[in-house]
Amino acid sequence: MYPDYMKESIAKVEKTRERRYRLALEHGKEVFKPMTEEEREGILERYHPDYQSDARKRVRIGPNKGELITDRVVDLLESYPRDNPDQFDLNDVDFDTEILIIGAGSAGLSAAIEASERGLNVLIATKLRLGDANSMMAQGGIQAATQRNDSPAIHYLDVIGGGHFDNKPDLVEALVMDAPKSIRWLEELGVMFDKNPDGSMIVKPGGGTSRNRLHSAKDYTGAAICRTLRDEVYNRSDRISYIEYSPVTELITDDRGQVAGAVIYHLETKEYSIVRAKAVIIATGGFGRLHIRNFATTNHYGATADGLVLAYRVGANLLYMDSVQYHPTGAVFPEQVVGFLCTEKLRGLGAQPVNKNGELFVYPLEPRDVEAASIIRECERGHGITTPSGLKGVWLDTPLIEMLNGEGTIENALPAMFRQFKRFDIDIRRYPILIYPTLHYQNGGIEINARAETKIPGLYVAGEASGGVHGRNRLMGNSQLDIVVFGRRAGINASERVLGGVKLGMLTMEHVRNYMRELDQLGDVPRSRIAPMILPDYIPDHVKAKQLTLNYFGTLT
Amino acid sequence: MERKMIGVYILGEYFKVPEGSTILTALEYAGFQLKRGVGCREGFCGACATLYREKGEYKLRGGLACQTVVTEGMTIARIPFVPAERANYDINKLKPDVNTFAELYPSVFRCVSCNTCTKICPQEINVMDYIQDVIRGDIASAAITSFDCIRCGLCALRCPAEIVQFNIAILAQRLYGKYLAPRSPELEERIKEIEEGKFDAEIKRLKGLCREELVREYYAREIEIS
């Protein structure tokens, strides 16, 4: 429960609630004026973490050499391989497969289903278990222009405006045009979406959407999708095999420059295996566990951007890796849930962000970067509340949800959120929650085209690891869509490549040797800085001081 | 700020950890670098099922390591994997009725209504109720009741009848989503419109706009949300 000084602030929130409730009845979601273009740009420049002077640095190696990129991503790219490529005998192939998929979130699982549907043999290598991914944690919804007052063109405009007009048009077109049939595909696999008794979809707005377009499965939308895809993958064991606890540590090419396999490492047995494949799909997700600018994160334990490193070393280029998504509403109290996601669906259902005096300060459904910057500004103005552990935040007034939508809405539509706070003695039906932006999503990634191809033959990317779909800021519900649309496209197009006949030459890891030579030439990259990171490192210093471990997972020193 | 330390027994071994830690962060504080038994760290993936006893208590409790706060004298056992029977099936060839379960998971009929599954569930799902739903052939109710299941597996571990509740749950959910949930008429219409090319010209026009034109259209667009 909240300490007394927070209760005093909550009393102020309660005092203004009736007025804000009336405002919502009168103006719908527009309880505060949405920002103009100039206002958006202005607040981002001053308050968004990406725009701070030390947020980015120039990467000195690889295809994006010379570009300004988020600092910890640069460290990751300027890292040595985990292993010397000379140690591997590439003639000794352990797994020969048609398609290798790296990662088993909803993008990887969708790709696997589509490839198996085409009769191909698939191997999934995943660092933890099938379904251990950010996909499983998505709460709020999946976008698709299914409503009669909506259209793929309106969706297109929302996506590209939210992304600051930097999105690749072909990718946005694929995203919005495939969206309705992706929902149907998921339904046919057995995903349970929230519906009205007549079968019509219950849809809500999200930040930056101009229509009600978020389809949800309570606030377990990602889990409902991901567990269904995983179950389907289990059922296709005749075509799809998988190895768990086995991250890929390096890609393998052939002597013609095609991607032709990978080195996988088993986390428990510490064995390395060589995989040969005619096409490789990277579906490794994002980078929240890099804790960029020391932010807490909503992300899965395994979100360490491994795919970026693998693809970059083999010559694929990155797009918009100067841009990081901070989800506006991460929990900051109690301490056990710091950084956890408080779904945007809360605001979609009418919860309002208010400061310590109970005052509104922003339109609740701005695109995420703008909403996050506004919350940071409010705290910097001294209008935030400080937690006992020294974090700052503003209130998200959740009791409004039931005032606006009726008693029982929170338990029915937001069971995960309700449960999350109830576990720590906070009833979100009665009390607001304290929130601050939290590191959430990798807006950019490995550049792909609408076929999910990279510029390297044989290498495909889908989902959060890819770049270009969302420009420099993703909207709520478009990642769940992205992973299904481009997961499937990757699976379909990789299959087409293999069915078209692929001749592999001699396997090689020359690209890794070249990369190491370039790193040597930089002169100042410590040998102990290694990537892919695989897992973050949360061992406290007092324990480390007594260990003689040479390389931790997550070493980014 | 100096934090108060408390003693816990991790797999029987004594460690001092900060008060207020979850079981997960307590393990990490003690120096365990976790590979198994850790996942999303936010209560959504079911990777970190844990059995524990509070000091002086006879009761064996279950929970998620990422969601359970340690207490003085707590004894903690990690459950990184749950061996469980799972049926393979082609969802397209199943019927959403009790016979499907009788064939794929006959153990469901062994339920003795002891409610142990419900008592251990960290999601507070009425697990026994949905197992009884299945036995009665009410697949819709089973799907809806089990919906919040995150597959931590504690129910199956504790079940004296050796039922695999969480695998039964996903089957019920898929059968409901595919066969029993009413279809959305507007979704079918929209898919047809897209296939007929209704939006092609408009998308092509938008793709052809320069940045300035896009900016203008974007900020001038009508907002119709509720």
User: Cβ separation of A212 and B90 shorter than 8 Å?
Assistant: no
- Topology classification of domain A91-323+443-507: FAD/NAD(P)-binding domain (3.50.50)
Q: What is the pLDDT of residue A544?
A: 87
Nearest CB neighbour to A341, from listed B38, B42, B45:
B42
Provide the shortest C-alpha distance from residue B41 to chain A (in Å). 7
CATH of A4-51+325-439, one of 3.30.70.20, 3.40.50.2300, 3.90.700.10, 3.40.50.1000: 3.90.700.10
- Tell me whether residues B39 and A222 touch, CB distance under 8 A: no
What residues contact B155, with CB distance under 8 A and at least 6 apart?
B117, B120, B121, B127, B165, B166
The answer, yes or no, to whether residue A230 has pLDDT greater than 90, is yes
- Taking CA atoms, what residue in A is nearest to B91? A189
Beta-carbon contacts of A121 under 8 Å, excluding residues fewer than 6 positions away, are A97, A98, A99, A239, A241
B224 and A210 within 8 Å at the Cβ level: the answer is yes
Q: What is the mean pLDDT of residues A148-176?
A: 98
- With contacts defined as CB-CB under 8 Å, which chain B residues touch A148? 186, 189
CB A93 within 8 A of CB A275: yes
User: Do A4-51+325-439 and A91-323+443-507 have matching folds?
Assistant: no
User: Which H/E stretch holds residue A396?
Assistant: strand A392-397
Quick check: A405 pLDDT over 80?
yes
- The hierarchical CATH code for the domain B5-78 is 3.10.20.30
- Counting Cβ atoms within 10 Å, is residue A293 exposed (0-12), middle (13-18) or buried (19+)? middle
The pLDDT of residue A556: 55
ipTM of predicted complex: 0.98
CA A190-A196-A201 angle, 5° bins: 60
pLDDT at B3: 84
Q: How far apart are CA A336 and CA A295, in angstroms?
A: 15
Nearest CA in chain B to A543: B31
How far apart CA A302 and CA A127 sit, in angstroms, is: 7
According to DSSP, the β-strands at A466-467 and A248-254 are unpaired
pTM of this structure = 0.98
In angstroms and rounded to an integer, the radius of gyration of the C-alpha atoms of chain B is 25
Scanning B153-182 for CB atoms below 8 A from A yields: 170-171, 173-178, 181-182
Asked if B1 reaches chain A (Cβ–Cβ under 8 Å), the answer is yes
Do residue B215 and residue A192 have CB atoms under 8 angstroms apart? no
Contact present, A429 and A336 (Cβ < 8 Å): no
Q: Known catalytic residues of A? A: 327, 347
Residues of A in contact with B184 (CB under 8 A): 146, 195, 199-201
DSSP state of B104: H
CB under 8 Å, gap of 24 or more: what pairs does B115-121 form?
Answer: B116/B158, B116/B159, B116/B160, B117/B155, B117/B156, B117/B158, B117/B159, B117/B163, B117/B165, B120/B61, B120/B62, B120/B154, B120/B155, B120/B157, B120/B158, B121/B154, B121/B155
CB contact under 8 A, B214 and A160: yes
HSE at residue A9, side-chain half, CA atoms within 13 A, is 22
User: Does the distance separating the beta carbons of B186 and A148 come in below 8 Å?
Assistant: yes
Residue-wise pLDDT tens digits, B195-223: 999 999 999 999 999 999 999 999 999 99
Q: With CB atoms and an 8 Å threshold, state whether A187 touches B175.
A: no
- Average pLDDT value for residue range A393-416: 97
Nearest alpha carbon to residue A151 among B213, B208, B193: B193
Which residues of chain B make contact with A237, given a CB cutoff of 8 A?
A: 88
Task: Provide the pLDDT confidence category of residue A557 given band limits of 50, 70 and 90.
Answer: very low
Chain A touched by B81 (CB under 8 Å)? no
Amino acid letter, A481? L
Domain positions in chain B: 5-78, 91-180, 189-219
Q: Is A407 left (phi over 0), alpha (psi -120 to 50) or beta?
A: beta
Task: Please check whether residue B220 touches A, CB under 8 A.
Answer: no
- Mean pLDDT of the residues in chain A: 96
pLDDT, tens only, A169-206: 999 999 999 999 999 999 999 999 999 999 999 999 99
**What CA–CA distance (Å, rounded) separates A317 from A311?**
8
Dist CA A237 CA A231 (whole Å): 11
Helices (H), B19-92: 23-30
- Residue ranges per domain, chain A? 4-51+325-439, 91-323+443-507
Query: What length is written for chain A?
Result: 557
For residue A383, how far is the Cα from the chain centroid? 30
